[in-house]
Structure 1
């Protein structure tokens, strides 16, 4: 049972309880309902998240309006909620978006100060991040469509995104899959973020993941040499690095440093995570987007094949 189901079931139980519970009930620490309620209330203390298809409705507990008491003593009067509480801002965050850009979009859409989002993201506290995130939000702000109430605070919004990530990670078996692959969950998510950044289409993702694994598994390991990681470390965008870029001392410069970068370079979607967990079979060590306009990527297992693909890329961009 995921956290949303727990929350719904618990709130339903609470709504049916017309009389206050006897004092002894709170001493029964071993019951199923006690555990469920404790989990639900702990989650609700941070954020209320209800899944509606692929859309998440995010509303902080502060947005709940208490009904006034009936002066006759017959109970609460039914009232319509404040119109401001019903207004929802729909935000779609695409796969692969960097955290810095995610925070800008959230600020622009909600009208809440960017610095608040940045401070909360920098801290990482209270967001429900898994332990393997090591306190960093990059990679864990799951791309999806969110409907956010005006009263939702930045920490509630970001916590909802982490909740959505945790659910996706459970659905694909991220932790167990990483163990089977001989990698940590953070390494899998880092690979997924590179796959997301480098892929022209979803069908290329398992092959790109295989290129990454093949390079890492060579003895000695071959440098990844990925423009996406280099550009992330430089806080730049583009698909072709300059000679100056290649000399960067950034820990994300995989042209100079062997192995994976320190962490994710964006927030990958579910397809990229699946590709990182189950790459395609193949001998490839290179891939080239030979036609960037059409998003065509081709793969090579030898340096001679790679050079031919590079020539094709140069012809298509008009420099050959």
Structure 2
């Protein structure tokens, strides 16, 4: 039984109780069900995540309060705060800084509160291989958030959704089979997400990353997406000054993968990182960014032709 199921079961039990359960209810270590529920609630930072279609409804223990002012169109009296939710969609590939801005805009809470909550990775339920860093683990999805949900509860819900996806995709064992750590797989997935124009290109782009890493000696990845992340900039074309950056995310200068994810990838990008397409490509070029056309090359001469095609399309815009 996963964390979300345990939380759902616990909330169902709580709904049948006349009085709020004592805090010790969630912290008992004796007994199978009590222990499992206690661990689940602790790991998810007392947050509930319930799926409603493609939307995840987020609520924490603070959300079990009531408000005396009813929503417009409803009668007077106390109204469960759960009915007053904000809906937000976190798109695939967003950097954590942009996720915080989106959360702040929707909830009205300062960005600093989300930044502070993100510093406590263990309380958010991050897996050990995240090394306490939230980037890459704030899973993209649509969430409905109660106004009383704290930043920690919201972020914990996103991590819980990531953990569920990682379990569904068999991320840990899949990484082992690929000869990589789970964090490396997620880092590759974040690059794939950032570099892909469409989902169908993702397995091929993942193959390019692997082919470059697997060369002896390894070839530098030379990805603008990683370079721009390290510079906290956006764009698809790096300047000469950018290329000289000493950032650990400058994969034009440093071999191998960057230190960690450069955004928060979705399930398709993670799948591609786990199961890349078969091929000998070492380059890819988005020859027509407007139409999202990406082409792949296995030799430098092919790559130069694709680059010329990109230049022509850019000049026609």
TM-score > 0.5, shorter chain as reference = yes
Which residue matches 1:258? Answer: 255
Deviation at 1:33, TM superposition (A): 2.5
Question: Are the aligned partners of 1:10 and 1:40 in contact in 2 as well (CA < 8 Å)?
Answer: no
Match of 2:54? 54
**Taking structure 1 as reference, are residues 59 and 10 closer, same or farther at Cα in structure 2, changes over 3 Å only?**
closer
Paired residues of 1:4 and 1:51 also in contact (CA < 8 A): no
Q: Is the Cα contact below 8 Å between 1:46 and 1:126 reproduced in 2?
A: no
Cα pair distance change 1:105/1:32, threshold 3 Å: same
| Alpha-carbon displacement from aligned partner over 1:263-307 (angstroms, at most 9, x marks no partner) | 000000000000000000000000000001100000000000000
1:202-251 CA-partner distances (Å, limit 9, x unpaired)? 00000000000000000000000000000000000000101110000000
Counterparts of 1:37 and 1:306 in 2: how far apart (Å)?
A: 55
Cα distance between partner residues in 2 of 1:29 and 1:199:
46
Change in CA separation of 1:249 and 1:66 when aligned onto 2, cut-off 3 Å: closer
Unaligned runs of 5+ in 1: 22-27, 68-78
Which sits farther off after the overlay, 44-53 or 203-212?
44-53
1:31 Cα shift? 4.1
Q: Which residue of 1 aligns with 2:71?
A: none
CA–CA distance in structure 1, aligned partners of residues 120 and 89 of structure 2 = 24
SS where residue 233 of structure 2 aligns? coil
Listed one character per residue, the Cα deviations across residues 149-175 of structure 1 (whole Å, up to 9, x for unaligned) are: 100111111111001100000010000
Given that 1:199 and 1:205 are in contact with CA atoms closer than 8 Å, whether structure 2 keeps it comes out as yes
- Offset at residue 43 of structure 1 (A): 4.8
User: Counterpart of 2:236 in 1: which secondary structure?
Assistant: coil
Supply the RMSD in Å over aligned alpha carbons.
2.6
CA-CA distance at 1:15 after TM superposition = 5.2
Q: 2:240 matched to 1:243?
A: yes
Deviation at 1:39, TM superposition (A): 3.2
Alignment correspondent of 1:75: none
Look up the SS of the partner of 1:318 in the other structure. helix
The secondary structure found in structure 1 opposite 2:201 is: helix
2-side partners of 1:241 and 1:81: how far apart?
56
Residue 42 of structure 1: aligned partner? 42
Partner residue, 1:135: 132
Decide whether the 8 Å contact of 1:44 with 1:61 is kept in 2.
no
- Pairing 1:1-320 to 2, within 5 Å after superposition: 1-13=1-13, 31-43=31-43, 46-65=46-65, 81-82=78-79, 84-318=81-315
- Paired residue total: 305
Whether the 8 Å CA contact 2:90–2:142 is kept in 1: the answer is yes
Higher-Rg structure is: 1
Structure 2: segments with no counterpart, 5+ residues: 22-27, 68-75
Alpha carbons of structure 1 residues 319 and 139: separation in structure 2 relative to 1, 3 Å: same
CA separation in 2, counterparts of 1:238 and 1:45? 36
- Deviation at 1:66? 7.4
